[in-house]
Each structure stands twice: as C-alpha cells, then as structure tokens.
Copies of this chain bind each other. A is one copy, B any other.
Amino acid sequence: MTVSYTLRVANARFGGFSALLFRWRGSIYKLLYKELLVFLGLYGILSLTYRILLSPEQKRIYAQVARYCNRSADLIPMSFVLGFYVTQVVNRWWAQYRSIPLPDRLMCVVTATVHGDDERGRTLRRTLLRYANLSSVLVLRSVSTRVLRRFPTIEHVVEAGFMSQEEKQKFESLHSDFNKYWVPCVWFTNLAAQARREGRVRDDIAFGLLLEELNQYRGKCSLLFHYDWISFPLVYTQVVTIAVYSFFAFCIIGRQFLEDPKPPLKGQEGPLGDLDLYVPLTTLLQFFFYAGWLKVGTKRPFGLKVSPGEGNQLVSVSLLSV
C-alpha cells in the first residue's frame, strides 16, 4: 500500500525529518528486516568462524580471499545498474498509476448528456456507468492482486452488482485468450446508441462527446492492461538482482575484520591497524541503500496495491452520485 506521509512532512520543521525515520508502516525497515536478518546471520557465522575456528595459516588464506572479494565488490557498477533500473521502474509505476481509469469524468459527461428524470433515465445513466465500472473492475482484476482477492471469480463480480446474470452469460459466451475488459465498453456503446435513438441523448454532438469520453476511458483501461502485460524486460531485472546479490555476497566475505598478520614487536608501537567494530556499520548502510532501492523497484504490490482501494471507492462513489 502506498502510505501517505506528506502531512507529517508538511508540519515538519527543524529536525522534523528524523520523525519520518522512525515510522514502521511502509518503511524501509519493514521492507528489509527479513533480508537484513539473513544478511547479519551469515555475516556473524563467518565472523565467528574466522575468529575462532581458523588457524593462522587459514587466516592468511582467508585474507587473500577477502581482499579479492573487496576488489570485486568495487568492480560491480552498482550505481549505474541500479540507477538505470530504478528510474525506469519508478517512471513506469507513475505512468501506470496515472492510467488507472477513473470514472468521474465519464460520470460527468453521462450526467450532462443523458436526460430524463424518470425511472428510465435514471436506469440508463446507472447502467452506462455500471458498464464503465465493470470494465475497470475486469482490468484491475488482472492487474492487482488485491482486487483479484476480492473478486476471485466472475461470479463475485456479479454478486457485487457490477453485472447481471444475463450479462454474465453473454460475457462468457464470447471466447478470447485475452482479458475481455473491452466487452462492457461495446455494451456501453450499444446502449448509448439506443439512448440516442430514444431521444434520451438529445443531439449528435452530445452523443459524440459521450463516445469520445468512453474512448478515453477505454484507452486508459487498455494502457493499464498493457503496462501489466508487457513486463519490463526480465534480463534487466536479472542483471540488477545478480548485481545486488553478488555485491552483498562479496561484502559478507570481504568486509570482515581481519587480524593484522604481523603483530607489532614488543616495545615498539605498531602502525595504526584497522578498527574491530564487530558490526559492519558501513556495509549495513550500503545494504539499506542498495537493497532498499532494489526492493522498492521490484515490489509489484507497491505499484498496484494502490489501485484497488481507490478503484473500489471511486467505483462506489460514481454509483452513488448519479
């Protein structure tokens, strides 16, 4: 779920940002704590092994391995790979979000063009909007796991009142390998044409406006569907994932504290050795940066848990207010 935190930032003055650092919901800690535990676990096991089990000769060899890993980690072009990937993914996410079909514009046009205060008029308007909503529900089902959980089968869609039983039969009699979200749009067009014939839609221009608005609505459904269908090339995802995984694998080995092979002679001050911190602080920070960056980029629910909530609520809103 996208978590709204702007209000908190808005009121933030001096130091206000630190408050944001300690939120849990939607935060980086919640996102990463499992991976972090695994990472720390592996690091700790290796650290203990090195300190307790290894003989001095083995430690010497381990130092070679660690040095090799450190140099390797530097050769992985993390910023380049992650920067490209995350920019693409975030832009995609926002474009996807903006292509969620909102029924309010259509609602406005239906209200303005389909006349009649009698039952027939109200039914017409409601049915038209129901078709539009049905179309977006059908798309959202294939795009969002949340909507799919709420409407696991077409039967659930019927129960929720988005479809009548006859419509369901008509819908299911049409066979297509693809999502049939466009079927209710055709129904919409037919019903609108009928309303025009009945004189409920008074003139051709209003009818044209209605069709155009539907076309835009439909275009958004289609775009959303294609964004979902055409994934970002798997190869890039694999490259990024391999890069991040191998970077941290190298870190686990290479960022261990290494004992100085040559202890200073007695009575003589040795050179400044490395600091034994036990916890690899810097590496942990890098873990947060890189793994967090990647995780958000690849978490699909991030992009799409957005839609259901909004979808549902906007759907009901539009039905209420006609």
User: How far is B230's CA from A267's CA once the two chains are assembled, in angstroms?
Assistant: 65
Q: A2-B233, A313-B177 are in contact. Are A112 and B246 (CB under 8 A)?
A: no
User: How far is B71's CA from A233's CA once the two chains are assembled, in angstroms?
Assistant: 33
User: How far is B191's CA from A108's CA once the two chains are assembled, in angstroms?
Assistant: 12
**Chain A interface helix/strand/loop/mixed:** helix
Contacts of A277 in B (CB 8 A): 68
Is A278 positioned at the interface, with any CB of B under 8 Å from its CB? no
Please state if A275 and B68 are interface contacts (CB–CB under 8 Å).
yes
Please state if A234 and B26 are interface contacts (CB–CB under 8 Å).
yes
Query: How many A residues are at the interface, by size bracket?
Result: 35 or more
Is A222 positioned at the interface, with any CB of B under 8 Å from its CB? yes
Contacts of A5 in B (CB 8 A): 231, 234, 237
Mark A residues whose CB is within 8 Å of B: 2-6, 9-11, 14, 17-18, 20-21, 23, 26-28, 31, 34-35, 60, 63-65, 67-68, 71-72, 75-84, 86-88, 90, 97-98, 102, 104-105, 107-109, 111-113, 115, 145, 174, 176-178, 182-183, 185-186, 189-190, 192-193, 202-209, 211-215, 218-219, 222, 226, 228-231, 233-239, 241-243, 245-246, 261, 269, 272-275, 277, 281-282, 285-286, 288-289, 292-293, 295-296, 298, 300-302, 304, 306, 313-314, 317, 320-321
